[in-house]
Structure 1
Amino acid sequence: MKKQEYRKQTQIWKRRAKGFKWTWIALLLAAIITVVISLQGPGSNTVMLTHIHGLGYSGDGQRILIPSHYGLKIYAQGEWTHGQGEEHDYMGFTAVDNGFYSSGHPAQGSNKKNPFGLLKSTDDGLSLDFLDLYGEIDFHLMSASYETHTIYVFNPEPNTRLKTVGLYYTKDEAETWVKSEMIGINEVPGALAVHPTNDSILAIGTKNGLYVSEDAGNQFVKIADMQVTSLAFGAENELFVGSFNEKGEMYRMDIGLKQLTEVNLPDLTEDAITYISQNPMTRNELVFSTVKMNVYVSTDRGSNWKQIVSQGESV
């Protein structure tokens, strides 16, 4: 090979070697980035919750659904994933056997109207079915019967469908609404829960009392003088009550006997329960969240608790 041709070929080899080197570095960086994304994205053990706006179980009892300020977060078998679709700010979230009902506000950059009114999703938020009052109202206080899907809302202001402030319910996904009389309550509700199978039974909590109605919210009976922070019906004719009295407390009440029994809890000094849910398939399993954005799970009806979120960060 002539000297001139040799020099030319050597320069080509050097360029190729240099290109191979940078290609290898680029591939290595891409692999590192992929690992980092996989650790932080869906299927990760890490999640941050800036707010907690509800709590519930999927219909098969396998997943805990937690709506946050930035979309739906899902916990199952020690792993965290993100709900489908955009990261909307769901409010008034309530899980049912085939999905969830909610209200709230659209994610930043979304083309959805604000506020949401009443919506339903059966695919973890991938698709949203706006049932009523889309773009008109945000229901912060809402609950639905887990099996019958009767929905109760506390309407905060008059709108095109609900003409006065107060408690309303619908049995046909907002085709028609009925106003409840709320006789026996002179306070603004702070917590609301509907029985999973008998949708005429519901409970309301206020700063000063626990109330139960057995006629779709027309007449309420005061059960206890207490500050109620959260409510949830269980499958075995039980009502779980979150309360605050110097620290966060939880009680279990038999609907028929109207007797309250305190549930063992972790130390909730200067904290209080915001949401409670019972697993519909494994009734010994309970989950609750707190004001300080802690989340605990029990698999033995509250005898022992495992913390899965601490101050908004997954444990």
Structure 2
Amino acid sequence: MKKHLPGLSVLPLTAAALALALTLTACSSSGDGAPGADSGAVLSHIHGLGVRGSTLYVATHQGLHTPDADGRPTLVGDRRDDFMGFTVTSDGVFLASGHPAPGGDGPADLGLVASTDSGRTWQEKSLAGKVDFHALDTAPDSTVYGYDSANGLLRVSTDGVTWDDRATLRALDIAVSPTTPGTVVATTESGVARSTDGGRTFTSGTDQVLAYVSWGAPDALFGVDPNGVLFRGRDGGTGWTRVSTVPGGAPQALTVVDARRLLVATQDGVYESRDAGLTFERRMAVKPGNDDH
């Protein structure tokens, strides 16, 4: 497992890695899900993670999956869309974006789609054929924040249908405060940018360079850098403290459930921590793949 010695800066390496990622991305035991027939498949290209009840959901280039009892991915529902953006709201609604599966009907960009039955079926909400959100998150009042990667634009909607265009920025991921209205952080190649006005304006990215961020509770803002080093945010993302190194190499997605539970997808698996990132256990296998998605 690759580690960094205390006191050594990782900024030049992580900034270069994040710049590359930004360039490239511009291109169930609880009964919540309905697994498909491909149990045992090994996935690559994970774009999002979510939890509903006790069930883990993994949004991928090949559809939405959940692990079986042996940690093997099983397809939820029958859609194999490329879910680039994915989040689970506080009331259990799944929101996603991306592209339809090869050969599927409809426009090349899904816009925003929603599922109220844990991914078994999906309904179009808005922006079909117009937007491919690569990052999605929601505020406590259910306001949806989506990062439109093709246009480098943060878009915000109170109902998932009508959208307000906010700041333009070059980012890989966003996270919305679960308690402070209008506070948003975004990962950029120069560091974590921060907004306190609902994403209308952002500070310049400074300090720690991170790839993915997630804000699961008032005291649970975490980020992971392109090398897989996990950090915990201080003071609403104005500072960062190193926690550990996630197993499995470069990260693909991060979701924080609460102050102790978090999930990270890396190059060889989806890992879960129940002790605020100090240790991790692999929940699902991932096959290393090329980085074109």
TM range (shorter): 0.7 to 0.9
Q: Whose radius of gyration is greater, 1 or 2?
A: 1
The Cα of 1:299 is off from its aligned counterpart by 1.4
What TM-score, normalized to structure 1?
Answer: 0.70
Q: Which residue of 2 aligns with 1:169?
A: 156
- Equivalent in the alignment of 2:87: 94
Report the Cα offset of residue 143 of structure 1: 1.8
Matched, 1:57 2:48: no
**In the alignment, structure 1 residue 278 sits paired with structure 2 residue 256:** yes
Q: Which amino acid aligns with 2:166?
A: S
Report the equivalent of 2:12: none
Residues 207, 304 of structure 1: alpha-carbon distance in 2 compared, 3 angstrom cutoff: same
Q: Which residue of 23, 47, 59 maps to 1:67?
A: 59
Once the two structures are superposed, what CA deviation does each residue of 1:26-60 show, in whole Å capped at 9, x if it has no partner? xxxxxxxxxxxxxx96594x3311311111212x2
**8 Å Cα contact 2:247/2:280 also seen in 1:** no
Q: Which residue of 2 aligns with 1:105?
A: 99
Any residues of structure 2 matched to 1:75-154 within 5 Å, and which?
75=67, 79=71, 80-97=73-90, 98-140=92-134, 142-145=135-138, 147-154=140-147
Q: Higher helix fraction: Structure 1 or Structure 2?
A: 1
Partner deviation per Cα, 1:162-201 (whole Å, 9 max, x = no partner):
xxx52221111122x222246xxxx511221122344411
**Pairing 1:161-310 to 2, within 5 Å after superposition:** 166-175=153-162, 177-181=163-167, 188-222=170-204, 224-244=206-226, 247-256=227-236, 258-267=238-247, 271-280=249-258, 283-290=259-266, 292-310=267-285
Amino acid at match of 1:91: M
The offset of 1:302, in angstroms, is 1.7
Cα distance, 1:211–1:156 mapped onto 2, change above 3 Å: closer
- Cα distance in 1 for residues equivalent to 2:198 and 2:167: 9
Opposite residue 186 of structure 2, the aligned amino acid is I
Paired amino acid for 2:260: N
Q: Do the aligned partners of 2:228 and 2:246 also contact (CA within 8 Å) in 1?
A: no
The SS at the match of 1:93 is strand
Q: Could you tell me how far apart the structure 1 residues matched to 2:86 and 2:148 are?
A: 15
Structure 1 residue runs of 5 or longer lacking an equivalent are 1-39, 159-164
Question: Once the two structures are aligned, what percentage of the paired residues are identical?
Answer: 27
- What are the within-5 Å matches in structure 2 for residues 7-86 of structure 1? 44=39, 46-58=40-52, 60=53, 62-75=54-67, 79=71, 80-86=73-79
> Match of 1:161?
none
Q: Which SS does the other structure have where 1:87 is aligned?
A: coil
Cα 1:217–1:76 shift into 2, 3 Å: farther
Greater RCO (CA < 8 Å, at least 6 residues apart): 2
Give the Å deviation of 1:266: 4.1
Secondary structure of the structure 1 residue equivalent to 2:245: coil
Aligned-residue offset at 1:108: 3.2
Aligned partner of 1:129: which letter?
Q
- Partner in structure 2 of residue 8 of structure 1: none
Q: 2:59–2:83: 8 Å Cα contact kept in structure 1? A: yes
Report the Cα distance in structure 2 between the residues aligned to 1:99 and 1:310, rounded to whole angstroms: 26
Please report how far the alpha carbon of residue 115 of structure 1 lies from its aligned counterpart in structure 2 after TM superposition: 1.8
Q: Distance in 1 between matches of 2:172 and 2:204?
A: 15
Higher strand share: 2
Aligned to 2:16: none
